[in-house]
Amino acid sequence: MPNDHAPLSDSSLNGAEAKRLKVILSQPRGFCAGVVRAIEIVERALRKYGPPVYVRHEIVHNRHVVERLKAKGAHFVENLDDIPEGAVTIFSAHGVPRAVVDEAVARDLPVLDATCPLVTKVHNEARRYVARGRTLILIGHAGHPEVEGTMGQVTDPVHLVQTETDVELLDLPSDAPVAYVTQTTLSIDDTRGIIAALQRRFSDIVGPDTRDICYATQNRQTAVRELSTLVDVILVVGAKNSSNSNRLREIGEEAGIPAYLIADGSELDARWLSGAATVGITAGASAPEVLVEDVIAALRRIGSVEVSTLPGREENLEFRLPTALADVG
Ligand code: SF4
């Protein structure tokens, strides 16, 4: 697992008194329905077709998940060129550009699409807006695979904006017919500001409001905002390349609470807890609960820990699996 910090050791705790820590778990946290479905697709594909199966990009942005699937026989590649003829091919939860779908069809690769249905919904919106003659503006983070997938849904140029300043710099006339869509895992507040800037800048603009931000992102952000009123420090369990995990950390910081994104307990730094009595923990949508437990175990090596969980919102959403895998137990 990636580890930017020295692991906790006796020496790292020298001088620290035995602590009593209250730990409050955010709710909901961790896996969302899209991540559960994507992992299930790889596991069922391995059971049905046998290893190896090939996954384009990390199935979800979590090293622990990827390593576990690797051990079962999944191969992770960035390009379809790295997939042998006829091999079972899985697209990750983040979605892919049309060119990748076309390439897979041209090569006759048997594809299972683990793109989250909420990302597919954004793809469909993007295509619909462009088909109606609108110039597409995507609110999202450059380089993220979901953004590349959404930009690659249409052949017309797509304008990517990440900030309100980017909106001012757009090289488009103010009366151009435009439409916007957003990445699913953005900050609700930032996105609201960018949409307001777009609406000020363009007279003929349509878009889905903030509804492209998925339910899981919204629920985890709302919960971490509540958590930040109760704790001295926030630990976000998630990968450095996980967009929704980064947003959770930012929300903690915006609330004035020191917040750290860590992959697991080995990245916990005891110095972050100096002077802290209450620690909040949340987890990004691609982080399994076992990693939250690993962080709690690391806290227990620092002192006594009493764990409670915020009531939070219950999530019951489940996405249907591809038909080809429905019969696999
Ligand atoms: S975070 Fe949202 S969009 Fe991404 S996989 Fe989960 S449910 Fe789907």
Asked whether the beta carbons of 39 and 59 are under 8 A apart, the reply is yes
Residue 325 is classified by DSSP as G
Average per-residue pLDDT for the chain? 94
Alpha helices in the chain (DSSP H): 33-49, 63-72, 98-106, 117-131, 145-151, 164-169, 188-201, 215-227, 243-254, 289-300
The CB of 287 under 6 Å from ligand 1? The reply is no
96 half-sphere exposure, CB direction, 13 A CA radius = 23
The CB of 33 under 6 Å from ligand 1? The reply is yes
Q: Which of 146, 148, 250, 267 is an active site residue?
A: 146
- Among protein residues, the one with the nearest Cα to ligand 1's atom 6 is 34
- What residues contact 285, with CB distance under 8 A and at least 6 apart? 30, 31, 32, 34, 35, 60, 185, 216, 217, 220, 242, 244, 245
Q: How far apart are CA 102 and CA 148, in angstroms?
A: 15
pLDDT band at 14 (very low <50, low <70, confident <90, very high): very low
pLDDT at 16 over 80: no
How many whole angstroms from 214 Cα to the centroid of ligand 1?
6
Q: Which atom of ligand 1 is nearest to the CA of 35?
A: 5
How many whole angstroms from 287 Cα to the centroid of ligand 1?
12
Q: Which atom of ligand 1 is nearest to the CA of 285?
A: 1
Known active-site residue 254 = no
The CB of 216 under 6 Å from ligand 1? The reply is yes
The CB of 184 under 6 Å from ligand 1? The reply is yes
**3-class DSSP state of 217:** helix
Asked whether the beta carbons of 165 and 221 are under 8 A apart, the reply is no
pLDDT at 55 over 70: yes
pLDDT band at 291 (very low <50, low <70, confident <90, very high): very high
Mutate to test the pocket of ligand 1, among 36, 115, 187, 217 (most ligand atoms within 8 A of CB): 217
Asked whether the beta carbons of 147 and 183 are under 8 A apart, the reply is yes
HEC secondary structure over 78-118: CCHHHCCCCCCEEECCCCCCHHHHHHHHHCCCCEEECCCHH
pLDDT (mean) for 289-318: 97
> For position 17, what pLDDT does the model report?
56
pLDDT band at 11 (very low <50, low <70, confident <90, very high): very low
Asked whether the beta carbons of 123 and 182 are under 8 A apart, the reply is no
Q: Environment class of residue 103 by beta-carbon count within 10 Å: exposed (0-12), middle (13-18) or buried (19+)?
A: middle
- The 10s digit of each residue's pLDDT in 204-244 is 999 997 789 999 999 999 999 999 999 999 999 999 999 99
pLDDT at 4 over 60: no
- Among protein residues, the one with the nearest Cα to ligand 1's atom 2 is 214
